[in-house]
Structure 1
Amino acid sequence: MADSKMAVTQWSPEFVKELLPASEKTALLYHLSYLCLANFPNLERIIRSRAVETQLLFGSSDATMLKCILTSQNLVESLFPMLVKAVEKNKAVLAIKFLEKARVWIKDIIADVDKIVEKYDLHNNDVKSSTSDVYKEKCDTDKKIKEQDQELKQAESALNTLKSLHQKTIEELAETEQKINSKTQEIQEFARSITKTSKGLGIFAALVPFIGLIVKSIYDAVHDPENIARMKALEAELNVYIADKTALKQKEWQTQLQLIDGQMKAAKASFDLNSIPDPIYLNEVQSSLSKIQAILIQLKHFWESVAVMLDSLEKKTFVGEDLVEDLTELKDEFLASIEVAKQAWSIFGAGCQKASVIFKLQTKDSYKFLEVSPSSLNKEEWEEEYKSVKERLENIDPPKSVPSSVKPAICQ
């Protein structure tokens, strides 16, 4: 049943936890950029244009999420019931027909997500180009300022220190993420080696492509003490890395808040000097957009993995002799797998529904600040609005994923 091309995935239906802060930060960082470029009409126009493009991109992302929702519903309400009937009636050819339908659905989603990812790539390049435009105008403006205020120098010095600390934390986080990916891959390979010896587990793995449930099924079905001990050891190692990642995310968020505070001080000093602040917030916009893009890339890979597993299920089980010869023996396991799959895919669909709501909110309300030019604000109004946006940024919590036990950790 299982082969070298099959792989359980660490994709989690809780991906929306990463999407929400990234999308919220994008709007708030645009707002800060907009405020910092007050009294520079050309730069205001550039920021407004890029922010509107982001709104449109989020609208397209919402449409893709809706397609994921509908496909998840089709799997739960259409494909799985049809597969149950096919198995109960011993009609392998009918099951193949149903799986072909599912593969067409998934192929369409992969193509749609691929297009959205390309749009994010192009848009991020546009934002990067806008950042360069700001730097150029800043350079031209700063040539007219012969002396920098001492407060600005101190703020910039402190800002550079915070940048270094923040960058170091990001590097530590990336290193820990790599360890998690490596350990997850090790667990996947071990799980595959076990599913090769059990046709029932192989069918379960194809229909329920979430590693936490795969591992649980292995514990329930495999009684070899050596295999169980090995799996528990791997889980324990992964839990350590996930705990490290959670702690580093909190540290990264705290340093980012300190960095934002330092940026505010430098921006205020530059504002007082009539100088253009560094377009730091635009760089952060690019970072947030990249995080959303990365989530969508993972979504694409997830669907690709599902397509491979369904293909393997068809070829190894329905086209081959496995189910034909062992149908009586495997029927109960297959039908039980279908029930778990329906629950898992329903949860995944709910996650996509939450993501759709997030994108809708971003396209509807989060960019209303564009309706008012920051150059129309006096100094007190500017500082009040800046403070308000900064406070909202501080209230965006990073995803919390400290596992209370082994099982939740493996679902990260």
Structure 2
Amino acid sequence: MANNRDLMLRGLTNSPEFVKELFPAAERTALLYHLSYLCLGNFPKLERILRQRAVENQLLFVYSEALILKCATTSDDLVSSLLPMLKLSVEDDQPVLAVKSLEKSQTWINEIIQRANEMIDRYEKHIFDVASSTSDVITEKAETEKKKVEMSSEIKSLDKIVDLFQDDRKKISDKIEKIETKIKEKNAELQNHVSKVCRTSEGLGIMTAIVPFIGPIIETINDTGTAPGVKAKTKALTNELSQLTSEKSDLRNKDWSIQLQMTELQLKSAILKIEKGTIPDPVHLGDVQNCLSQIRTILIQLQKFWTSVGELLDSLKKKTFVGEDILDGNMTEITKSFFLKSIKTAEEYWKTFGQSCLNAKEIFDLKSKDAYKFLESSPPVDQVEWKQEYDSVIEKLKKINPDRLWEANQAAITE
């Protein structure tokens, strides 16, 4: 059984709020489509392509909203139905009730996993379509430039600076990738440490059967009596993980600052190129692909999370923990007490996860309805109006902080 429990622990999610990472990616995607439309939409062939891709993205967000809502309602069902049934089955020694509830919850979870897989495939296809559109723009741009005079020295100078910024972003990206590798390794080390502790603790073993987040398990390790050095090692590992996460956050903010500076230079370059009848570079479409890839990555994490929850509940139904059947009606008072406490902890974290999903659902709803109104008309022909609209989008982009957007959107949704 130890191996089964280790497997479950390695699949646990650190925080019930991991879906909050959807916010900046979803916010940026719509704004970057708007910028792409402004820069390329005055060229008829490219306008048609961008309209098609943007409409596809709208539909993608509608489907994403439905998936996230399903996650929220299932979380609520677990809190209002499954966990109370588990509590009742333990208090009244009625394991049949627990088994029936667990089987029902498996149906909910399997449906989410299936929907998540479908959404991941949809995002993958859309990312490919955007990449193809970027290639189409580059081809059209090359054909157009054959008929135009040589680029001005000012445009060349701006493009050169943008290239230097791209080099800086590449260096930052490499650093982030290395830190993410360290975070993954440190997470594995922490989860292996927790697994080892849980193998020697009956109460913690029971908690891993019902709480799908490693955070409360670590809190329990720190709050209960454990072997000498266990708390110290747990704290040291969590502190190291926190430090790495902080370093990653700093790099992401630095990268975002560079992106904003690049966007301002790209505006100047785009204006000059449009004046000459030349197609600007499709730089914003490349950023769209990055944002879509981030959303897809989070959906994969969501799919893995629910798969882990499904395996956890299945093990609760079929397996034994520390040599004693949890659902056989013969639990000791100590075991029963730990199990009931775990149910209470699980309720709190599932409620947090459900609320996070509802907030994420709202942002997808807002972005699918309001963020693509720019498609209702062609980009302004007048340069003053064009620049005003571009500047307006840039101001919205500047307000997006990778680490603070979550709180801002929560406030906006609450109002």
Give the whole-Å Cα distance in 2 for the aligned partners of 1:80 and 1:14.
Answer: 20
Spell out, residue by residue over 1:121-177, the C-alpha distance to the aligned partner (whole angstroms, 9 max, x if none): 011111111111111100000111231111101011101001110111112112111
Amino acid in the other structure paired with 2:7:
K
User: Hey, what does 1:12 align to over in structure 2?
Assistant: 15
Determine whether 1:278 maps to 2:281.
yes
User: Hey, what does 1:46 align to over in structure 2?
Assistant: 49
Give the whole-Å Cα distance in 2 for the aligned partners of 1:327 and 1:106.
Answer: 30
Determine whether 1:112 maps to 2:115.
yes
Amino acid in the other structure paired with 2:68:
M
**Which aligned pairs between 1:60-139 and structure 2 lie closer than 5 A?**
60-139=63-142
> Please, which of 169, 175, 179 is the counterpart of residue 176 of structure 1?
179
Partner SS state of residue 298, structure 2: helix
User: Hey, what does 2:403 align to over in structure 1?
Assistant: 399
> Please, which of 20, 29, 34 is the counterpart of residue 31 of structure 1?
34
> Please, which of 362, 369, 373 is the counterpart of residue 368 of structure 1?
373
Give the whole-Å Cα distance in 2 for the aligned partners of 1:236 and 1:112.
Answer: 36
**Which aligned pairs between 1:12-411 and structure 2 lie closer than 5 A?**
12-317=15-320, 321-323=324-326, 324=328, 325-374=330-379, 376-400=380-404
Displacement of 1:321 in angstroms is: 4.0
Partner SS state of residue 13, structure 1: coil
Displacement of 1:236 in angstroms is: 2.1
Give the whole-Å Cα distance in 2 for the aligned partners of 1:77 and 1:236.
Answer: 35
Displacement of 1:400 in angstroms is: 4.7
Give the whole-Å Cα distance in 2 for the aligned partners of 1:95 and 1:125.
Answer: 45
Assess if the C-alpha contact under 8 Å between 1:208 and 1:337 holds in 2: yes
Give the whole-Å Cα distance in 2 for the aligned partners of 1:85 and 1:109.
Answer: 26
TM-score of the aligned structures, taking structure 2 as reference length: 0.93
User: Hey, what does 2:409 align to over in structure 1?
Assistant: none
Amino acid in the other structure paired with 2:58:
Q
Give the whole-Å Cα distance in 2 for the aligned partners of 1:114 and 1:167.
Answer: 31
Larger mean CA deviation between 180-189 and 16-25 belongs to 16-25
Displacement of 1:14 in angstroms is: 2.3
Task: Return structure 1 stretches of 4+ with deviation > 4 angstroms.
Answer: none
Displacement of 1:326 in angstroms is: 3.5
Spell out, residue by residue over 1:188-216, the C-alpha distance to the aligned partner (whole angstroms, 9 max, x if none): 11101111112221121221121211100
Amino acid in the other structure paired with 2:6:
S
Assess if the C-alpha contact under 8 Å between 2:210 and 2:313 holds in 1: yes
Amino acid in the other structure paired with 2:89:
A
Give the whole-Å Cα distance in 1 for the aligned partners of 2:261 and 2:173.
Answer: 14
Tell me how many residue pairs correspond in the alignment.
400
Spell out, residue by residue over 1:336-367, the C-alpha distance to the aligned partner (whole angstroms, 9 max, x if none): 11111111100100000001101100111000
Gaps of 5+ in 2: 406-415
Gaps of 5+ in 1: 402-412
Displacement of 1:262 in angstroms is: 2.1
Amino acid in the other structure paired with 2:47:
E
Assess if the C-alpha contact under 8 Å between 1:219 and 1:228 holds in 2: yes
RMSD of equivalent CA atoms = 1.7
Displacement of 1:292 in angstroms is: 0.9
Give the whole-Å Cα distance in 2 for the aligned partners of 1:225 and 1:262.
Answer: 58
Displacement of 1:112 in angstroms is: 0.5
User: Hey, what does 1:406 align to over in structure 2?
Assistant: none
Percent of aligned pairs with the same residue? Answer: 47
Assess if the C-alpha contact under 8 Å between 1:11 and 1:298 holds in 2: no
Seen in structure 2, the aligned counterparts of structure 1 residues 400 and 225 have a Cα distance that, compared at 3 Å, is farther
Spell out, residue by residue over 1:17-54, the C-alpha distance to the aligned partner (whole angstroms, 9 max, x if none): 32111111111111111111143111011101100110
Assess if the C-alpha contact under 8 Å between 1:6 and 1:312 holds in 2: no
Amino acid in the other structure paired with 2:395:
E
Assess if the C-alpha contact under 8 Å between 1:10 and 1:184 holds in 2: no
Give the whole-Å Cα distance in 2 for the aligned partners of 1:164 and 1:298.
Answer: 30
Larger mean CA deviation between 226-235 and 271-280 belongs to 226-235
Give the whole-Å Cα distance in 2 for the aligned partners of 1:19 and 1:321.
Answer: 41
Assess if the C-alpha contact under 8 Å between 2:15 and 2:215 holds in 1: no
User: Hey, what does 1:410 align to over in structure 2?
Assistant: none
